[in-house]
């Protein structure tokens, strides 16, 4: 046990050195991906929604490649899972509401 305690500062320094590049990468992507939309993004969002609606009307969704359809399915499942996790956090129970 004393050997482990004596090596703790060296282990902590090694852990920090190995974690630093990964943390920098996370922060770089988090600054871009986790920011809320700005006013300049609204026209792009509107055009994306209109393309989605027109694709649904014309049946263009039937021509989606399998790889892209699978990716869209995974994104949808991820969004639903985060929605349900947020619901569980909000109601502070896993099942049901306290009515």
- pLDDT grade, residue 47 (50/70/90)? very high
- pLDDT grade, residue 75 (50/70/90)? very high
Residue boundaries of the structural domains of the chain:
1-36, 65-99
DSSP label of 60: G
pTM score, whole prediction: 0.51
Spatial separation of the C-alpha atoms in residues 80 and 18, rounded to whole Å: 34
Q: Over pLDDT 90: what percentage of the chain?
A: 47
Q: What is the mean pLDDT of the chain?
A: 89
Smallest CA-to-CA distance from 41 within 53, 28, 32 is with: 32
- pLDDT grade, residue 3 (50/70/90)? confident
- Hey, how many other C-beta atoms are within 10 angstroms of the C-beta on 64? 13
Residue with tokens 């996790």: 85
How far CA 95 is from CA of 11, 12, 63, 80, in Å, comes to 42, 41, 39, 16
pLDDT, position 5: 82
Residue pLDDT, tens place only, 33-45: 888 889 999 999 9
Spatial separation of the C-alpha atoms in residues 68 and 64, rounded to whole Å: 7
Three-class SS state of 33: helix
């Amino acid at each position: 046990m004393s050997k482990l305690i004596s090596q703790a500062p060296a282990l902590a320094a090694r852990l920090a050195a190995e974690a630093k590049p990964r943390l920098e990468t996370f922060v770089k992507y988090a600054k871009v991906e986790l920011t809320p939309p700005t006013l300049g993004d609204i026209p792009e969002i509107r055009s994306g929604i209109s393309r989605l609606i027109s694709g649904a009307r014309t049946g263009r969704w039937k021509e989606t490649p399998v790889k892209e359809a699978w990716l869209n399915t995974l994104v949808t499942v991820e969004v639903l899972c985060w929605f349900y996790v947020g619901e569980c956090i909000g109601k502070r129970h896993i099942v049901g509401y306290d009515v």
